[in-house]
Amino acid sequence: MTTQRTVLVTGGNRGIGYAIAEQFVAEGHNVAVTARSGEGPAGTLTVRADVTDSASIDAAFTEIEAKLGPVEVVIANAGITRDMLIMRMSDDDFDDVVSTNLGGAFRVVKRASKGMLKARFGRIILISSVVGLLGSAGQVNYAASKAGLVGMARSITRELGARAITANIVAPGFIQTDMTAELPEATQAEYKKSIPAGRFAQVGEVARVVTWLAGDDASYISGAVIPVDGGLGMGH
Ligand code: NDP
């Protein structure tokens, strides 16, 4: 049994974030989720926050700290795609994706780091993607944002590592969520052929890796990229 922690998952109202929050609850932790709409799973505290807005993140942390205590584990999961070939990608589609996926993680971790430094403990987990390291045609914005998270986690490791704060990346491959359901069926079949496991993953397969990384057994892992991709990225 790992120590009970106060956990925050961004974008916990659906998809991978919802499953991560559900898994933390099942393992006995105090869990808050941020959501722009909807609610987190049963047993979580849902707070409204938009990760592109520092003031709303600050307000969310203040509410969580008052109700659950200081955040010890933060999962930066909220993310979007705006796919387009680079020639036709608008500046806004580039900026929005980077500001949500990379900037959002920065804003949330920056706010969380205050309490973690004081507590001399913290677990920071950033949800990247296999695409961040492999690249993907039509996803220059998304891949750049997800690759940026790797440099972010490693720099945080160097800045905060001596205070028992770890920062790691979980890099999912294709997971069955709204994000992948949007892909045409023929494209999904094509992708499955390129995945050594021959299938997409269930959200729980990502969630259980995240809770393990946040647990006591993972205290000496930091700056790592943990792929959950059925072999697609071959360990990258
Ligand atoms: P979904 O599209 O199902 O959910 C995205 C979540 O992010 C929602 O909760 C959404 O909130 C939230 N979100 C988006 N923008 C913001 C914002 N500005 N502020 C706050 N919350 C926001 O995505 P998935 O569950 O599939 O993906 C979760 C993470 O995993 C993402 O970072 C994604 O890039 C990554 N990932 C997903 C893969 C997959 O195959 N599904 C593969 C690799 C990585 P709302 O409901 O309000 O829109």
pLDDT > 70: percent of the chain: 100
∠ at Cα 104 (99, 106), nearest 5°? 105
191 is catalytic: no
56 lines ligand 1 (CB under 6 A): no
ipTM: 0.98
Domain boundaries, the chain: 6-226
Q: What is the pLDDT of residue 1?
A: 64
In this structure, are residues 100 and 82 in contact, taking their beta carbons and an 8 Å threshold?
no
How confident is the model over 118-131, as pLDDT tens digits? 999 999 999 999 99
Mean pLDDT, to the nearest integer, of 26-48?
Answer: 97
Q: What is the pLDDT of residue 223?
A: 98
Question: How confident is residue 179, by pLDDT bands cut at 50, 70 and 90?
Answer: confident
In this structure, are residues 126 and 167 in contact, taking their beta carbons and an 8 Å threshold?
yes
Indicate which residue's Cα is closest to atom 41 of ligand 1. 175
Task: Quote the CA–CA distance of 228 and 224 in Å, as a whole number.
Answer: 13
Under CATH, to which class is 6-226 assigned? alpha beta
57 lines ligand 1 (CB under 6 A): no
Q: What is the pLDDT of residue 187?
A: 86
Average pLDDT, the chain: 96
Indicate which residue's Cα is closest to atom 29 of ligand 1. 77
Residue 178 has pLDDT above 90, yes or no: no
114 lines ligand 1 (CB under 6 A): no
Q: What is the pLDDT of residue 182?
A: 84
Site to substitute for ligand 1 among 10, 13, 14, 228, most atoms within 8 A of C-beta: 14
Q: Is 170 helix (H, G, I), strand (E, B) or coil?
A: strand
Residues with Cβ within 8 Å of 149's Cβ and at least 6 positions away in sequence, in order, are 76, 101, 102, 105, 126, 127, 128, 132, 169
How confident is the model over 149-177, as pLDDT tens digits? 999 999 999 999 999 999 999 999 999 98
Q: From ligand 1's centre to the CA of 88, what distance in Å?
A: 23
Atom of ligand 1 nearest to the CA of 100: 18
Mean pLDDT, to the nearest integer, of 62-84?
Answer: 98
227 lines ligand 1 (CB under 6 A): no
In this structure, are residues 74 and 5 in contact, taking their beta carbons and an 8 Å threshold?
no
Mean pLDDT, to the nearest integer, of 74-88?
Answer: 97
